[in-house]
Amino acid sequence: MSDLIFNGPAEFDMQVMVVNDETGQSGRVTIGLGMFEYPSKKKVKKRIEKFEAEELIDALDGFRLMTKYEAWATVMHEKTGERFAMAGGKDWDEI
């Protein structure tokens, strides 16, 4: 039990944005990051990679992670009702 870490009384989840190119359907998937231990950037990155490689395909056939541009456009539309262009490429910045 000495390897358990208790940083605080919290459970951590994150919402990952996904899209289906064929149907145009998009949404968010909530995935867990664990309890009591504050997640590091490295842990978040590994969890997203695991979700994409092992869980996304089985749970949401035809869906993929959104690109940076797609996620930006989705959030801006949700918040303002408008779509805004974003400079830069589709790829996410390195964590």
- Is residue 39 in a domain? yes
pLDDT tier at 2 (50, 70, 90 boundaries)?
A: low
- Is residue 21 in a domain? yes
| Domain that includes residue 67, residue range | 11-80
Q: Is the dihedral of CA 85, 90, 87, 41 positive or negative?
A: positive
Say which residue the tokens 């490429």 belong to: 89
- Is residue 90 in a domain? no
**Model pTM?**
0.83
DSSP labels, the chain: -TT----SS-EEEEEEEEEETTT--EEEEEEEEEESSPPPHHHHHHHHHHIIIIIHHHHSTTEEEPPHHHHHHHHHHHHHSS-----S-SSPPP-
- Is residue 92 in a domain? no
Predicted confidence (pLDDT) per residue in 45-83, tens digit: 999 999 999 999 888 889 999 999 899 989 988 899 987
- Is residue 4 in a domain? no
- Is residue 30 in a domain? yes
- Is residue 18 in a domain? yes
- Give the number of domains in the chain: 1
